[in-house]
Amino acid sequence: MFPAALITVDYSAAQGPLLDCLSDLRDMGVTRVILIHVVQVGYALGASYGNKEALEDWLQGRAAPLHAAGMEVEIEIRAAGEVAKEILQAATDHRADLTVIGSRGQNMIRGLFLGSVAREVIRLSTQPVRLEWIESTGKDGDGACARTCHAGLRRVVLGTDFSQQSQASEKASMALARLGTHVDVMHVLAPDGGKIYARWPRMAQAALSYIVDDIIAAGGTAEAHILTGKPSEEIARLAADRDADLIVVGKHGQGWVASMAIGSTAANLCEIARRPVLMVPFIKTEE
């Protein structure tokens, strides 16, 4: 599904655990990994600035379990003023199919907030991005952190609004279904949606049934869910109730006027999900 993954790492405790769950990468079809660290030019507090040899040793150490798992691994260090853009340029240069990034919390005890680099990567990327959830493991904020691991990709939640922007995420979920993954397909109705158009709940249920049938045909199992409320909150709630290993959602592709923002549902979801989120962009092509 995603043969080559570019994984961004740095010296912080919040990024260190990013490689702790190898089964996730294997289940997503990853066989080649590029570990990259981008030194922000002019950022004096960067722990790796001017310390390339130590950083290379650290990256090689982080690559060891990936090598042991039979993956092809490359490491790279870059310097740039705009870190997010350099990460995406590296993904293009290495022909990566997936970019993986962790989100550092401003205060990991009170809750996780998308870091500026992660948010910019998600906003600008024209390729799928997997945002990892990093938890604090102690009282020292992000001084002691761990990645939230699940047992592979047993269960996935797919949030869809049936728009063009959801089609790519639906296809990604069908690809995961070929692994035997269970997919909970959900659509969230606005609280007053039925009043605006009384037939919409039944139409949504019918549309979900078609997606469920496609997932089953692909080799997985699936259930349809229609909930009412704020989409990001309802998606996160269902994912928690079902102990989902991954949430899959779509977003606008770069080049759209609307892509200047991630999209309120996707952005909010990344801040409250407490589990990995795969964001799959829809790219509009010229007709």
Residue 125 belongs to some domain of the structure: yes
Domain final residue pick, 88, 119, 147: 147
Residue 198 has pLDDT above 50, yes or no: yes
Is the model's pLDDT at 13 over the cut of 50? no
For the four alpha carbons of 54, 56, 57 and 62, in that order, the dihedral sign comes to: positive
Look over the chain and give the mean of its residue pLDDT values, rounded to a whole number.
Answer: 80
* Residue 5 predicted with pLDDT over 70: yes
Q: Starting at the earlier edge strand, list the strands of the sheet with 32-40.
A: 72-80, 32-40, 4-8, 98-102, 129-132, 277-282, 246-252, 155-159, 182-189, 221-228
Does 70 reside within a domain?
A: yes
Domains identified in the chain, total number: 2
pLDDT the model gives residue 122:
86
Model confidence over 209-267: pLDDT tens digits?
Answer: 999 999 999 999 999 999 999 989 999 999 999 999 999 998 764 443 444 445 667 77
Per DSSP, the three-state class of 203 is helix
Q: Side chain identity at 20, as an amino acid letter?
A: D
| Domain stop point among 147, 163, 195 | 147
**pTM score, two decimals?**
0.85
| Residues 239, 192 share a domain | yes
Average of pLDDT values for 112-141?
Answer: 75
What one-character DSSP code corresponds to residue 21? -
Strand ranges for the chain from DSSP E: 4-8, 32-40, 72-80, 98-102, 129-132, 134-136, 145-147, 155-159, 182-189, 221-228, 246-252, 277-282
Q: Are residue 236 and residue 108 in the same domain, yes or no?
A: no
Residue 161 and residue 119 share a domain: no
Lowest average pLDDT, out of 111-115, 125-129, 277-281, goes to 111-115
- Residue 252: which domain range? 155-282
Of 147, 169, 204, the position where a domain reaches its end is 147
